[in-house]
Amino acid sequence: MENLLVSSDSGIPGLELPGLFEFLSMFFLATLRIGAFLISAPFFGAQSIPLQVRIVSSIILGMVFFEQFQSVPLLELDNLVIVRIIFVELLIGLTVGILLSVLFASVALAGEKIATSGGLGFAAQIDPTTGGQTPVISNALTLFSIVTFLSLDGHLALIRAMDASFSVVAVGGRLDLYAASQFVADSAGYMFELASIMMLPVVIVLLLTNVTVGVVTRSAPTLNLFSFGFPITLLVCFLALYLATKPLGYSMEYLVRFAIDFIASFFGKLKNG
């Protein structure tokens, strides 16, 4: 009978809850930065993409990026320090998404200026990415930029940049927020610069057309400005957009490559200052 008794020393070992808690906490931190990025970034954070898809995508990418993580002793840290780490991770992801939104807003800005100069400012429809009313030309250029972005594998390049960001800007590491804030403030200037590159060829043609129509109507007062000038302006606007299709493609390709390099420079500025 004594041989049938089970010794108390041969029990099932217990689960190491502190180690499991630290693992889940690190995995949670891995999803914060990429999740905030997917919510605020253009294309990824469009209203047409359900929130559930973005949440699942952040979890999957967090599993992929988990190898880049440097171990952080969360159990040894104070609660305020952990809250600061969570806030910084969310801030990094949101800032990267907002920077991309500002840069790619140059396409909508260029389209709106072209529509206003060509007399098509009244022709507006709902933008599928923002849900607001924007000119038709602005929507067309935005869709053109999405196609260019996807054809150049810009979405994969941004995901690789976010993956590399964990090795450049480690979780819980020191950040130069002042230098990064100056870098963010300068991004608005790049938005207007990129918009000018895209819209100036068409806008200059429309400006010369309006000046010509004004001179003609001035020399011949019997001509009605609306019945004569407006149709000519519309025709020139469509013709200029057709002829500028290839240059616009080059400009949007430059925009995509500039945005990716801009994000990489932002991470370097965030770490080094």
5 lies in some domain:
no
Average pLDDT score over residue span 212-233: 76
Among the residue ranges 11-15, 202-206, 218-222, 264-268, the one predicted with the least confidence is: 11-15
Q: Tell whether 8 is covered by a domain.
A: no
264 domain-assigned? yes
Domain that holds residue 126: 17-272
The residue among 175 and 9 whose pLDDT is bigger is 175
- Does residue 11 lie within any of the structural domains? no
On whether residue 59 sits in a domain, the answer given is yes
Q: What is the pTM of this model?
A: 0.80
Q: Given a cut of 50, is residue 167 above it in pLDDT?
A: yes
Tens of pLDDT, residues 138-148? 888 888 888 88
* Domain assignment present for 7: no
pLDDT at 255: 92
Q: What is the mean pLDDT of residues 220-231?
A: 72
Kindly report the three-state secondary structure assignment for every residue of the chain: CHHHCCCHHHCCCCCCHHHHHHHHHHHHHHHHHHHHHHHHCCCCCCCCCCHHHHHHHHHHHHHHHHHHCCCCCHHHCCHHHHHHHHHHHHHHHHHHHHHHHHHHHHHHHHHHHHHHHCCCCCCEEECCCCCCEEEHHHHHHHHHHHHHHHHCCHHHHHHHHHHHHHHHCCCCCCCCHHHHHHHHHHHHHHHHHHHHHHHHHHHHHHHHHHHHHHHHHHHCCCCCHHHHHHHHHHHHHHHHHHHCHHHHHHHHHHHHHHHHHHHHHHHHHHHHC
Q: What pLDDT sits at residue 55?
A: 82
Output 2 or 237, whichever has higher pLDDT.
Answer: 237
**What is the number of structural domains in the chain?**
1
Q: Do the domain assignments include residue 152?
A: yes
pLDDT, one tens digit per residue, over 33-61 is: 888 888 888 877 667 777 788 888 888 88
pLDDT tens digits for 78-121? 778 778 888 888 888 888 888 898 899 899 899 889 888 887 77
Residue 69 lies in a domain: yes
